[in-house]
A and B are shown apart, each in its own frame.
Chain A
Amino acid sequence: MTQRMDARFAALKAENRPAFVTFVMAGDPDLETAQQIVDGLPGAGADVIEIGMPFSDPMADGPAIQAAGQRALEAGQDMVKTLTLVKNFRKKDDATPIVLMGYYNPIYIYGVDKFIKDALDAGVDGFIIVDLPPEEDEEFCLPAIAKGLNFIRLAAPTTDDARLPTVLSNTSGFVYYVSMTGVTGSALSNPTDIADQVTRIKNHTDLPVCVGFGIKTADDAKRIGADADGVVVGSALVQAVEKSLENGKATANTARAVHELVADIAKGVRAARS
């Protein structure tokens, strides 16, 4: 098993603060700018980095992340370039865990075994594959785990207690609790309900439980981070990319806009339990 994820969560536990998990899209708005964005995330306060693998048909994503994926694809992003992005990041940072997030088809077409090997070589720590539920574990989850990579599962409000053990089996790294029934970037639901759900999941597992979908501000992060082991922010960051563009192209301000927002939300994360 790659060690970065467990080491990072253990260190955060010792500090008694939640993890700040940031999501950005590989190749958005172009490969070079995306590299700058990713490279600067740890300095801005990110503890774990999720990198989206763009897909033409992102069924579980809202408009912000759909648009980010489309920008990346239009700029020529593909799976090979996404792995290169990780490889370049690893030259400078060997501690921050990297999770690739996306849909199964691009991996399937790349070739499962080759993708696992290349991802390991690039310095990837784990995967979140939205359309691979436990029922399809043989496809990719089991081969990835066998090679020491983390397979991080989504648990949803519709995942009841009877189903949770199924979802939590073959899961490692952390559990990603989807805060609502909906797509990424929707309105955040009641924080008290979310806290109850985190507690419910923790009754079934020793893994850290991070919460995502709908967390957009430092204040959201502070409230959710009080109970969760980590907060995931994605749509807000890709929207910061979008807002910084001129005629669809990156500006001198693009990477900075993302890093400033990350730094701001990081303050909320760090204040969650103080």
Chain B
Amino acid sequence: MSGENSLRMGPDERGRFGHFGGRFVAETLMPLILELDEAYKAAKADPAFKEEFDYLLKHYVGRPSPLYYAERMTEHLGGAKIYFKRDELNHTGSHKINNCIGQILLAKRMGKPRIIAETGAGQHGVATATVCARFGFPCTIYMGAKDVERQAPNVFRMKLLGAEIIPVTAGQGTLKDSMNEALRDWVTNVDDTYYLIGTAAGPHPYPEMVRDFQSIIGQETKEQMQEAEGRLPDMLIAAVGGGSNAIGLFHPFLDDRDVRIVGVEAGGKGLDTDEHCASLTAGSPGVLHGNRTYLLQNYDGQIDEGASISAGLDYPGIGPEHSFLKDSGRVEYVPINDEEALAAFQLLTRLEGIIPALEPSHALAEVVKRAPTMDKDQIIVMNLCGRGDKDVFTAAKHLGVDLNSD
């Protein structure tokens, strides 16, 4: 299965997925990246590491997450059968915790107890603060000042969990600037600090490592689908910001060529405006945050700000493996705009009694478009990667509801 023509072989020794990926970091960080690469290789080969990871995923995170047949949604759309991979039921409410468990175990193994992380919507920040509390490690979270404001509930959760939140005002004060600031922290505190990156991006080995830890999503889906339907699904759909939940679902299926795979980017207010985050559909290859990948940028190679109703998709880059999968044609990437995502958010809430996060609401909006065009014996699996508790304020604002007026 993973033969010469496999799409699952990447990255190579240099951290490349085809032309993408790599290790574009300052010399001060390079020895740390190499050390991390060695440590991760050793951990992967150590059965005790996997055992502890599996144990925590089962008993602490609550895996496996269910694969749920959405009967009413299926009826409503009148086409393909729709299943949700319910990673929103994980401890902390999103898929982010899968990766955090893996990386905190690696940090422990490497003897680097001070944890730093960047966060956009706050889901990765909460998951990081959670595992730091569980392991008793000090935790510093960099978060764009703008995001601190629009994600107040998650900021409070992180503080409750004992994390220090540093609002980032440098640059434009969003996710990419938080990542810059976390890198500046790491370059300063090289001895005791572990940088726990939340998405499948950054310098090698992060894209590979985060993907491996998130691949549990796709592995479980494969098994659960066999159990439920006795076959593979016809289509996978997931939202992509940096792309960790999507690569986690997609990767185990990449060599199953009959399974169509669709990644959904944040189209913001539309691709004909400046306010979107569709790096793959509307960007071009460049080098940022340690890897070559598709980026939103201007003619001079300056990085543009993304914009989306969902803070979690608000990143002008994308994991390098997605860039590779786009160029290879294996995965189709499409944009969904704010309005469509918001409509899907409401639809799922009413039809299935599940309030999704705004990130997977983008994936759902694509399901809404695709399912009616497919046969009733076809199957779509969508990654429901986060729950929407954190987004009720944002949704209320966009729906014109004043929560304080009751």
A residues with a Cβ closer than 8 A to B are 54-60, 62-63, 66, 70, 73, 78-79, 103-110, 130-136, 153-160, 163, 167, 178, 181-183, 186
Q: In the complex, are the beta carbons of A108 and B30 less than 8 A apart?
A: no
Tell yes or no: B272 within 8 A of A by CB: no
Contact of A133 among B26, B180, B184, B284 (CB under 8 A): B26
**Is there contact, CB below 8 Å, between B286 and A109?**
yes
Q: Contact check: which of A56, A109, A135 meets B299 at CB < 8 Å?
A: A109
Contact B290–A108 (Cβ < 8 Å)? no
- The answer for the CA separation of A60 and B182 in the assembled complex, in Å, is 11
Check A133/B23 contact, CB under 8 A, given A163-B31, A183-B187: yes
A253 to B81, CA, bound (A): 71
Residue of A nearest to B300 (CB): A78
Main secondary structure of the interface of B (DSSP, over half): mixed
- Tell me the B126-176 residues at the A interface (CB within 8 Å): 170-171, 176
A-B contact pairs, 26 of them (CB 8 A): A55-B302, A57-B171, A57-B176, A57-B180, A57-B288, A60-B183, A60-B187, A66-B171, A79-B300, A103-B287, A106-B302, A108-B287, A133-B25, A136-B24, A154-B27, A154-B28, A155-B27, A156-B27, A157-B28, A158-B29, A158-B30, A158-B31, A159-B30, A181-B28, A183-B188, A186-B188
Q: Check if B22 sits within 8 Å of A182, measured CB to CB.
A: no
Interface size class of B (residues with CB under 8 A): 35 or more
Task: Determine the chain A residues whose CB is within 8 A of the CB of B188 once the complex forms.
Answer: 181-183, 186
CA distance A82 to B80 in the complex (A): 56
Identify the 6 closest CB pairs spanning chains A and B, nearest first: A109-B301, A106-B301, A156-B28, A78-B300, A56-B302, A182-B188
Taking CB atoms, residues of chain B closer than 8 Å to A66 are 170-171
- Out of B23, B171, B286, B297, name the residue touching A136 (CB < 8 Å): B23
Would you call A159 and B299 a contact (CB within 8 A)?
Answer: no
B303 at the A/B interface (Cβ < 8 Å)?
yes
Closest to B284 in A: A109
Known: A66-B171, A133-B26. 8 other contacts (CB 8 A): A60-B28, A60-B184, A132-B24, A135-B14, A154-B27, A155-B27, A157-B28, A182-B188
The answer to whether B26 touches A105 (Cβ under 8 A) is no
Min CB distance B210 to A, Å, is: 19
B27 with A133: CB separation less than 8 A: yes
Chain B residues within 8 Å of A181, by CB: 28, 187-190
Tell me if B269 counts as interface (CB < 8 A to partner A).
Answer: no
Min C-beta distance of A40 to chain B, whole Å: 27
Contacts of B287 in A (CB 8 A): 103-105, 108, 131
8 A Cβ contacts from B1-57 to A: 14, 22-32
Contact B286 A105, beta carbon cutoff 8 Å:
yes
Q: B289 within 8 Å of A by Cβ? A: yes
CB closest residue in chain B, given A78: B300
Docked CA distance A178–B301 (Å): 26
Contact status B286-A108, CB under 8 Å: yes
